Amino acid sequence: MSRSIAQLATPGVQTLRPYAPGKPLTELEREYGIVNAVKLASNENPLGPSPRVLEALRSGFDELARYPDGNGFELKTALAQRYGVDPAAITLGNGSNDVLELVARAFLLPGSSAVFSAHAFAVYPLVTQAIGARANVAAAHDGSDGPRYSHDLDAMLRAIDADTRVIFIANPNNPTGTWLDRAVLRAFVEAVPGHIIVVIDEAYFEYVSEPDYPDTTMWLADFPNLLVTRTFSKAYGLASLRVGYGISQGGLADVLNRVRQPFNVNSFAQLGAVAALGDEVHLHESVRTNQDGMRQLVDGVQALNLPYIPSVGNFLCVDVGRDPGDVYEALLHEGVIVRPVDNYAMPGHLRISIGLQEENQRFLQALDKVLAA
């Protein structure tokens, strides 16, 4: 009997459900005949990139026929200066997602396990399953001993078993927006056996202003098994260029770079990232815009008497009190794209990215109309 192509794939891939990105604006407008739609689905920076980035990208067109710098010298140098580390401690990725996959390819294998929390970023189970490893998913807090849906680090420690090789922690977490403070996270990293790689995913680092929120790059000298990942896709506004990075001790970075694809970060991404790092004014304006938008969104959902998960990212998870798929679909007809999070086992919730003031207001008005109907 002949087998399907899918049956020829590795066992992990056979049952894998691919990551579903947020609906693009062009797709919504094409399918629904809507113009001037608003996208608040993918946690993008509504201000876009720094003007310095646009200027830097223009300078790259003369080199279109050339391969990128496969080692990313200028970007690694800029990041090394920013963090006070050796360039050899940095791993560049096609977005920080790429670095997460490098971790799985380098350290997981069939029969081993990775630990992460329930309701954590969807890429962790994807990269784990694709390798054929097992996911040890720790229950999140239920609200009785910590913010509901947040990482329960004690439960994560209990989820470690003899074949655990990697732990993924998102701080803050997507899609919940919950975060871990310095003391509890440091204690957790200290408690993890040294043969297990601890990945702290800080994609939303730049947005967080809580005084007890840790900069875990400051811990790298103490933990050879620690990797911190960050991205230029969020606060820096470079989502379309796909550039992220990991910082670790040199030994860990060396292993990751053995499985990193040649030229995985293109020339424009490298140029844009270096320019973005040099524009602190634009970064601060992006953070301020997010803070203002978060207050606007929280005030708006409170006025609608809707529960929400307090967030330190650039998004808010809201319990709409009914089938979120129906609300999502109705919002599409109003020209507003948000993000369903049914794949995160969070019934009733939608995730809304923080936009410009007028975009946030349009969402709130559309949500009020949809819920009233």
CA dihedral (305, 306, 309, 315) positive or negative: negative
The predicted pLDDT at position 2 comes to: 58
pTM over 0.85: yes
Which CATH superfamily groups domain 5-48+281-372? Answer: Aspartate Aminotransferase, domain 1 (3.90.1150.10)
Mean pLDDT, rounded, for 107-123: 96
For 241-294, write each residue's pLDDT tens digit. Answer: 999 999 999 999 999 999 999 999 999 999 999 999 999 999 999 999 999 999
Q: What's the chain's average pLDDT? A: 94
Domains of the chain, by residue range, sit at 5-48+281-372, 62-278
Show the tokens assigned to 334: 């109003």
Residue 13's pLDDT band (cuts 50, 70, 90): confident
What secondary structure letter does DSSP report for 210? -
274: left (phi over 0), alpha (psi -120 to 50) or beta: alpha
Mean pLDDT, rounded, for 23-38: 80
Looking at per-residue pLDDT, the higher value among 8 and 140 belongs to 140
Among 156, 213, 221, smallest CA distance to 181 is for: 213
Residue 103 phi, psi dihedral angles, 5° rounding: -60, -45
For 301-322, write each residue's pLDDT tens digit. Answer: 999 999 999 999 999 999 999 9
Residue 10's pLDDT band (cuts 50, 70, 90): confident
Sort strands 113-117 and 244-248 into parallel, antiparallel or unpaired: unpaired
Count of CB atoms situated within 10 Å of the CB of 186: 16
Cα dihedral angle (79, 80, 86, 91), rounded to 10 degrees?
Answer: 0
Mean pLDDT, rounded, for 343-348: 91
**Whether the Cβ atoms of residue 47 and residue 289 lie closer than 8 Å to each other:** yes
For 149-165, write each residue's pLDDT tens digit. Answer: 999 999 999 999 999 99
User: Given 3.40.50.20, 3.40.50.620, 3.10.20.30, 3.40.640.10, which CATH number is that of 62-278?
Assistant: 3.40.640.10
**How far is CA 99 from each of CA 68, 95, 230, 266, rounded to the nearest angstrom?**
18, 7, 9, 15
Count of CB atoms situated within 10 Å of the CB of 130: 17
Residue 1's pLDDT band (cuts 50, 70, 90): very low
Share of the chain above pLDDT 90, in %: 88
Lowest mean pLDDT segment, chosen from 8-22, 52-66, 338-352: 8-22
